[in-house]
């Protein structure tokens, strides 16, 4: 603090320099006469200024002691405590207004003493633990004085000091070397200091607002304050620069409000003058006119004075600090500059100032770029956006490119900025610009995708041209026409899109903005069903458009029932609050009530189109249990009949999987439709099982496969259907494992089965084993059942072992994947085994099988060294789709083998061959091998180290040891 210039100042300085030097500073005046006069009146002034900073100090603790002060030291019961200005900042607006009023009274009585308090306040807010010394400036030789304005290190005392002119004083601030350690109020963490920063800015605004009708124009207060802030904002110490830059730009913002009030007063006085001047000469009062004219001149002079102060702050602080090395300071400058442009556009909203915002959009720090984008949003939303035409042309490409910013928040706000520009400046963004921006509806970051979806909705789906009604149309027809126009716009966007065809991600992006459109399932299904109206027939959709609408309906149903996140969007499962849960339940109820009646008709219409059926058959998975009742039994029976007809007619994998999930949902025990759906499901599986058994009896003769082409196709299609359904539900009671065994025995003995049949048989048997492992131990397990299960598991592993040497690569890979899945599931079952359930199922793969698995991985994964991408990276376009698919297949095989290591199915030493390939195949498999190495280290550090040592020895064992190693 800067102490009162009393006889006690020297003792106060001495005391606080020992206890806490941050709370005081000595003030030495050149004029002893002035010092003597102030000594006589100081006690009376203290009584008049109860809330002044030095009023009731009584040699209190330092201001920086309040840096750790708790919040409970604030005002209580509305009473203003005897505290410093620094402490008042944390008390809120009401406390500040009262203290500022008292400070103004003190300033009116003794402006030097009050101004010293204010200067001390800004020094304290910088976290200064040093001392401030002030001496009166009386030198006539300004050049000599300015040459002594320095910031340096005093080697004798080990203190840093800054000496500068803040007229009418020359201030010297000294502080210890650790001042720039980074601990000062503006950057300290916690709610208290966040509030302090807000109150600090508020204090500057309140100070100017309360002074605007009195002392602000005395030519003394603001001149001194601006000099102080300008000098300290140019300091090498970060705390001074940061704090005083913030204070300076907030001061300029407050001065803008004063200038605006003056402009209003000038306009009012001008109108009053014109009214008075318009009166008849006999009624006109000349003295009144002169008085109004003088008032107008005075207000204009004051406004000019304020603008000069604003210009001084801009040139003295902003122009030096907007490129400061500290990003927080740059962000402050950009944030306030856009505020000035919006508040005082007549002065600041022009290209001379806008260029700084454009330049700083290229800043390296995302916070600075974000402040620029947020400020531009406010400017383009304002009515004066026409003044920014040149800026828009010059920086349009940069604003568009910022949607690709690596910082997600900057990218989101850049997208919102483009949305605002598109609305306020119609011709700025062209078709190509919109096309590029709309592609972000498919990006992996959901907030950015939803913002792009909002942009897409506002631009394409809320277009006024779409909502023009047809003359003479009813409300229902108008609604259908508007819906059709919006769907057509979406179809055009989807068709013209050359990069992505993911309707599910498009729906997720549009959900927040176009939820009402996407949940209009009645209207969307009406576009697909036949109508008799000539007008509706004329606007009928094509087959491709119908496929898009069906996929749109399926995706919207999934979104309503499950919601985000989709795969690749979001790090984890979203926590749904009570309101969102209620909306979700209501939507599921509506879609259940609607589709249970409409879906049979849609399935019947598209019964021959497997692609459309695949999307429609996903809908029953999301039916709401609470919405089900017995009144819709006939609709459910019709739905089940169409389901059965669809899976009986088609063998498309996607269709079968969707149907299996729908059957699983309809057959749930808690559903009223269980009694209808379960018998239908059982009949379907029994029919397929009987068909498969019959065809096998006809085609398997004396251990050989003798089936013709029709029999083979029917066996293959039946196996595909059973494999799709066995994934969703346990079909063990139909003895599918035995049927698959008969097929594999023939293949192993005679190699006579078609490749596709062998693959499907392996999948079927693997699923049966997995279901048995899943249900094993649910009840009390006897030794006999455990032995029988182990025998079956061993037999299946032996069959897969034999298939690892099959002539067809796809069969070998399927056998390997089946082995991996079964062994991992068995290991998990052992780990979760409850001893009270009886005898566990114990099985250990024999050494031959383990070696076969390792050999398979080495031969099928670590191949084609000439195509390895470690030495020379190959682009995806050059390597082609075939190369990428092959790489994906090999990565899956390697991941399956690594799971066997991680789950302790295989010994850790079996991973040595993988680790040897880490460098050679780094680009293709480096992430998988590295993760395996990390997992094995977590499992057993010693064994992992031995394995790594064995790898190193095998690769570098032939090298001669280094001299350092030979000495050990």
pLDDT reported for residue 111: 83
pLDDT for residue 967: 30
Write out the two tokens for 826: 């068995």
In this prediction, residue 656 carries a pLDDT of 94
- Cis, peptide link before residue 565, omega less than 30° from 0: yes
Report pLDDT for 212. Answer: 85
- pLDDT of 780 reads 53
pTM: 0.81
Residue 634 pLDDT:
86
Q: Is residue 573 part of a domain?
A: no
Token readout for 56 is: 């009731």
What is the model's pLDDT at position 635? 87
DSSP state of 224: H
pLDDT of residue 157: 59
pLDDT for the residue 196: 86
Strand bridging mode 700-701 / 704-705: antiparallel
Counting beta carbons within 10 angstroms of the beta carbon of residue 938, is it exposed (0 to 12), middle (13 to 18) or buried (19 or more)?
exposed
Look at residue 57 in the predicted model and tell me its pLDDT: 36
Q: How far is CA 577 from CA 557, 581, 626, in A?
A: 20, 6, 20
Q: How many beta carbons lie within 10 A of that of residue 498, not counting itself?
A: 8
- 874 falls within a domain: no
Residues 6 or more apart whose Cβ sits within 8 Å of residue 169: 116, 119, 134, 135, 136, 137, 224
Q: Is 175 helix (H, G, I), strand (E, B) or coil?
A: strand
Q: Does residue 946 belong to any structural domain of this protein?
A: yes
Instruction: Specify the pLDDT at position 956.
Output: 74
Q: Give the pLDDT score at 284.
A: 67
Task: Provide the phi-psi class of 137: left if phi over 0, else alpha when psi is between -120 and 50, else beta.
Answer: beta
**Structural domain span for residue 942:** 850-862+885-956
On whether residue 182 sits in a domain, the answer given is: no
Residues ≥6 apart with Cβ < 8 Å to 591: 521, 557, 560, 561, 619, 622, 623, 624
Instruction: Give domain status of residue 339, yes or no.
Output: no
Short-list 72, 80, 100, 78, CA closest to 192:
72
Query: Which distant-in-sequence residues (6+ apart) come within 8 Å of 651 by Cβ?
Result: 717, 720, 721
pLDDT number for residue 1: 34
| 672 within domain boundaries | no
List, run by run, the mean pLDDT of 10-residue segments along the chain (968 residues). Answer: 33 32 35 36 36 36 38 41 67 75 88 84 80 58 48 59 70 65 80 87 90 85 90 87 95 95 91 80 75 90 93 95 95 96 93 95 96 95 82 94 96 96 88 92 93 94 71 76 89 82 90 93 90 56 91 94 78 74 90 92 93 94 75 85 93 93 88 86 94 90 82 93 93 90 87 89 94 75 78 92 92 95 89 66 86 93 60 49 87 94 90 88 91 90 87 69 37
- Centroid of chain to Cα 204: 35
Distance CA 177, CA 130 (A): 10
784 belongs to a structural domain: no
Give pLDDT, residue 26: 35
According to the model, what pLDDT value does residue 470 have? 66
pLDDT of 759 reads 94
Burial 60-74 (b: 16+ CB within 10 A, else e): bebbbebbeeeeeeb
Q: Does residue 625 fall inside a structural domain? A: no
> What pLDDT was estimated at residue 784?
79
Q: Number of folded domains in the chain?
A: 1
């Amino acid at each position: 603090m800067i102490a009162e210039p009393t006889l006690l100042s020297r003792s106060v300085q001495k005391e606080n320099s020992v206890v806490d030097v941050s709370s005081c500073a000595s003030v030495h005046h050149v004029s002893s006469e002035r010092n003597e006069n102030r000594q006589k009146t100081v006690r009376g002034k203290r009584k008049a200024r109860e809330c002044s900073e030095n009023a009731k100090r009584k040699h209190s603790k330092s201001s920086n002691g309040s840096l750790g002060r708790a919040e409970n030291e604030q005002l209580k019961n509305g009473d203003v405590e005897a505290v410093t200005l620094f402490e008042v900042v944390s008390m809120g607006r009401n406390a500040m207004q009262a203290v500022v009023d008292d400070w103004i009274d003190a300033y009116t009585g003794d402006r030097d003493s009050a101004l010293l308090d204010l200067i001390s306040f800004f020094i304290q807010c910088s976290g200064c633990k040093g001392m401030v010394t002030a001496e009166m400036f009386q030198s006539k030789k300004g050049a000599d004085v300015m040459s002594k304005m320095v910031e340096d290190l005093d080697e004798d005392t080990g203190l840093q000091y800054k000496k500068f002119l803040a007229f009418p004083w020359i201030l010297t601030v000294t502080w210890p070397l650790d001042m720039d350690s980074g601990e000062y109020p503006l950057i300290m963490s916690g709610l208290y200091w966040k509030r302090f920063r807000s109150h600090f800015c508020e204090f500057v605004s309140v100070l100017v607002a309360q002074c605007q009708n009195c002392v602000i124009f005395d030519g003394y207060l603001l001149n001194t304050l601006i000099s102080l802030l300008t000098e300290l904002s140019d300091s090498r110490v970060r705390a001074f620069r940061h704090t005083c830059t913030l204070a300076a730009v907030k001061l300029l913002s407050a001065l803008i409000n004063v200038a605006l009030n003056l402009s209003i007063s000038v306009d009012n006085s001008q109108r009053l003058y014109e009214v008075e001047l318009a009166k008849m000469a006999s009624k006109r009062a000349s003295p009144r006119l002169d008085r109004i004219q003088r008032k107008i001149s005075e207000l204009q002079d004051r406004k000019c004075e304020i603008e000069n102060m604003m210009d001084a702050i801009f040139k003295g602080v902003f122009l030096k600090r907007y490129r400061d090395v500290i990003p927080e300071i740059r962000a402050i400058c950009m944030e306030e500059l856009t505020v000035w442009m919006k508040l005082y556009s007549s002065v600041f909203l022009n290209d001379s100032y806008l260029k700084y915002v454009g330049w700083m959009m290229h800043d390296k720090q995302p916070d600075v770029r974000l402040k620029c984008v947020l400020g531009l949003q406010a400017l383009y939303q304002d009515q004066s956006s026409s003044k920014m035409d040149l800026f828009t042309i010059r920086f349009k490409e940069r604003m568009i490119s910022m949607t690709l910013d690596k910082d997600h928040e900057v990218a989101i706000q850049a997208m919102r900025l483009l949305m605002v520009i598109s609305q306020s400046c119609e011709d700025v963004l062209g078709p190509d610009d919109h096309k590029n921006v709309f592609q972000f509806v498919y990006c992996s970051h959901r907030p950015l995708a939803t913002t792009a979806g909002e942009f897409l909705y506002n631009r394409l789906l809320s277009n006024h041209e779409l909502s023009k009604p047809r003359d003479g149309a009813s409300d229902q027809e108008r609604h259908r026409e508007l819906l059709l126009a919006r769907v057509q716009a979406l179809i055009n966007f989807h068709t013209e899109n050359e990069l992505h065809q993911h309707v599910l991600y498009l729906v997720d992006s549009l959900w927040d903005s176009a939820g009402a459109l996407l949940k209009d399932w009645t209207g969307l299904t009406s576009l697909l069903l036949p109508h008799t109206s000539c007008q509706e027939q004329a606007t009928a959709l094509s087959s491709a458009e119908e496929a898009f609408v069906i996929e749109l309906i399926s995706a919207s149903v999934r979104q309503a029932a499950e919601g985000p996140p989709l795969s690749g969007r979001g790090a984890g499962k979203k926590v749904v609050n009570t309101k969102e849960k209620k909306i979700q339940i209501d939507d599921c109820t509506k879609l259940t009530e609607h589709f249970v009646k409409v879906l049979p008709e849609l399935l019947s219409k598209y019964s021959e189109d497997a692609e459309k059926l695949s999307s429609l058959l996903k809908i029953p998975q999301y039916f709401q249990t609470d919405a089900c009742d017995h009144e819709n039994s006939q609709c459910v029976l019709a739905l089940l009949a169409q389901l059965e007809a669809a899976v009986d007619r088609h063998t498309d994998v996607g269709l079968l999987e969707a149907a299996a999930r729908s059957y699983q949902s309809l057959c749930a025990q808690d559903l009223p439709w269980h009694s209808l759906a379960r018998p239908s499901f059982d009949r379907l599986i029994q029919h397929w099982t009987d068909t498969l058994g019959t065809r096998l009896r006809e085609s398997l003769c004396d251990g050989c496969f003798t089936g013709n082409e029709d029999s083979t196709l029917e066996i293959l299609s039946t196996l595909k259907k059973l494999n799709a359904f066995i994934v969703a539900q346990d079909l063990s009671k139909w003895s599918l494992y035995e049927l698959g065994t008969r097929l594999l025995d023939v293949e192993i003995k005679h190699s006579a089965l078609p490749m596709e049949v062998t693959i499907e048989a392996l999948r079927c048997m693997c699923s049966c084993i997995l279901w048995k492992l899943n249900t094993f131990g649910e009840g009390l397990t006897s030794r006999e059942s455990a032995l029988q299960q182990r025998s079956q598991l061993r037999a299946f592993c032996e069959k897969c072992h034999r298939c690892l040497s099959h002539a067809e690569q796809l069969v070998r890979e399927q056998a390997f994947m089946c082995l991996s899945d079964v062994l991992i599931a068995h290991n998990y079952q052992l780990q979760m085994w409850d001893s009270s359930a009886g005898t566990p199922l114990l099985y250990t793969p024999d050494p031959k099988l383990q070696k076969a698995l390792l050999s398979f991985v080495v031969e099928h994964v670590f191949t084609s060294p000439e195509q390895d991408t470690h030495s020379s990276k190959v682009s995806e376009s050059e390597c082609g789709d075939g190369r990428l698919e092959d790489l994906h297949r090999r990565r899956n095989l390697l991941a399956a083998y690594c799971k066997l290591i991680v789950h302790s199915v295989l010994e850790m030493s079996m991973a040595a061959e993988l680790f040897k390939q880490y460098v050679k195949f780094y680009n293709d498999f480096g992430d998988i091998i590295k993760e395996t190495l990390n997992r094995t280290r977590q499992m057993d550090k010693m064994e992992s180290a031995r394995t790594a040592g064995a790898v190193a020895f095998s690769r570098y064992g032939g090298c001669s040891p280094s001299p350092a190693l030979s000495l050990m």
